[in-house]
Structure 1
Amino acid sequence: MRYFRLCLSGLLCGWLSSAQAADLTLYLGDNPPFNSFVAHRPEGMAVEVMTEVLKRSQLSAENKDFPWARALTTVQMMPNHCAYTVGRIPEREAKFHWLGPIATVQGTLFGLRERQLQIRSLEDARKYRIGDLRQGANAIFLESKGFVIDYANTEDQNLRKLLVGHIDLYPGTPYSAREIVQRLKIDPQRVQALYVFNQIDLYLACNLQTPSATLAKLTSAFESMRADKTLQKISAQYEARFALTN
């Protein structure tokens, strides 16, 4: 009876039903073509992988779009919360349960071709301003090497800052750079890959208090996709479409 009276407001009932509806809450980073929100809908290679993982594991999930640093902090605090795609780096190893790898990417410094920058090592990059996402794997790696990062909330912001000269270098991946350049309707010839400085495996990262039975279902589903080549088939559909090279 008390629950019924509270539900008369509608709002509380909606919140309760939403909270009870999904087995998992998934936070998607802005990391095209692997995962991002377009017109308020998740899309990308990793989204397709996770959709199939959930189907095979018979688990439901609610997808959420949060700023990346906030999403990772929330996942660390909340059981049954996960984020993807998360670069599995030493600084994060003990903070999450890991499922993957979903994909492997090369951390690459990009610049404007018209500036004709010559970057042959990370030392060459130290004299330039570098922009990246707060708590992004590339940012964490570069900070560990002593770089100071000009932070942005989204990859779009990074590319816009590069175009207007607020930063000199943008650390991304050949896949994400190509997708964002297309999204912003920029001439792809203006953005040039200058130097590969890192290689990162991308995973689903889940809260440490997520039940072991849930994690076992996710792992079994993912491994079955690897075994029957579904993972490779999904990946192959994107590899040919989203490479930005010199």
Structure 2
Amino acid sequence: MRKLTVMGFFCLFFMGSCFAAQGNSLVITTENYPPFNIVDPKNQEISGISTDKVRELMRRAGETITIKAYPWSRAFKMGQEDLDTCVYSTTRTAEREALFKWVGPLVKNNWYFFARADDERQIKSLESMHSYVVGTYHDDAVEKYLASNGFKTDPANYDGENPKKLIAKRIDFWATGELLGLYILKEQGMTQSVKPLFKFNQTEMYLACNLKIDQKRIDNMNKVLQAMEKDGTNLAIERKYK
């Protein structure tokens, strides 16, 4: 019978610790949400403001990670249910607070209404939107916020569908993140057809981690992210995408 090595004996005696160490790397899930998370459709490479911050954060924190892109509903569910998994860019809301351990904020996100360029309705307040149908993105924080507050929403499976729905008058207005909306319009060549109307909210987006991840790791990530803010790293990353 082969003799046990010291490490082998240690693993048998403290078996739980050895298996825990094997699962120490993190899976980071995300979606295509430019310019914060940008998934290249050709090679699936992931970049963007939040992505670059997460990569640098994890490098400094000494974490081994794999970043994978999925539809948002799946990415969010994985972060909530799968061990050693985090999801970004996740809007931190009261409803989600107890679902994750939070690292951030990574970025601020202005929520905007968009309208057809020829729309002459003078609407400047959130309250005035109650009588209109607003295009949103399914399971997104914007959609949940508007729907829970009694607005008439028409969620799309992909936010990029909403400009076309707007032009076809299937919806009255479109609600989304300001930078994402402008990115989509530029990508679709519709910057002259659709205009930003007004900002109705500002939120912060985080890296949201599974509740079973050790709190010491979460605290360390937050400490590292704060250092990145102080030394100008975060600002430098943001400027790359402007």
TM-score band (shorter)? 0.7 to 0.9
Q: Does 1:51 align with 2:51?
A: no
Partner of 2:135: 131
Normalised by the length of structure 1, the TM-score is 0.82
Cα distance in 1 for partners of 2:222, 2:102 equals 9
Do the aligned partners of 2:29 and 2:78 also contact (CA within 8 Å) in 1? no
User: In structure 2, which of residues 153, 158, 168 is the aligned counterpart of residue 154 of structure 1?
Assistant: 158
User: In structure 2, which of residues 181, 193, 202 is the aligned counterpart of residue 199 of structure 1?
Assistant: 202
Q: Which runs of no fewer than 5 residues in structure 1 stay unpaired?
A: 1-19, 242-246
**Superposed structure 1 runs of 4+ greater than 4 Å apart:** none
Partner of 2:4: none
SS where residue 46 of structure 2 aligns?
A: strand
Normalised by the length of structure 2, the TM-score is 0.83
Partner of 1:31: 33
Alignment of 1:150-229 (within 5 A): 150-186=154-190, 188-229=191-232
Do the aligned partners of 1:111 and 1:169 also contact (CA within 8 Å) in 2? yes
Q: Which moved more, 1:211-220 or 1:189-198?
A: 211-220
Partner of 1:11: none
CA deviation vs aligned residue, 1:125-148 (integer Å, no higher than 9, x gap): 122211212221111211221113
Partner of 2:234: 231
Cα distance in 2 for partners of 1:153, 1:26 equals 22
Partner of 1:7: none
User: In structure 2, which of residues 66, 72, 86 is the aligned counterpart of residue 68 of structure 1?
Assistant: 72
SS where residue 91 of structure 1 aligns?
A: coil
SS where residue 126 of structure 1 aligns?
A: helix
Matched residues, number: 219
RMSD, matched Cα = 1.9
Q: Which runs of no fewer than 5 residues in structure 2 stay unpaired?
A: 1-21
Cα distance in 2 for partners of 1:210, 1:62 equals 16
Instruction: Identify if the C-alpha distance between structure 1 residues 54 and 92 changes in structure 2 by more than 3 Å, giving closer, same or farther.
Output: same
Q: Which has the larger radius of gyration?
A: 2
Do the aligned partners of 2:102 and 2:206 also contact (CA within 8 Å) in 1? yes
Cα distance in 2 for partners of 1:80, 1:30 equals 21
Cα distance in 2 for partners of 1:69, 1:118 equals 35
Do the aligned partners of 1:111 and 1:117 also contact (CA within 8 Å) in 2? no
Do the aligned partners of 1:28 and 1:85 also contact (CA within 8 Å) in 2? yes
Do the aligned partners of 1:128 and 1:169 also contact (CA within 8 Å) in 2? yes
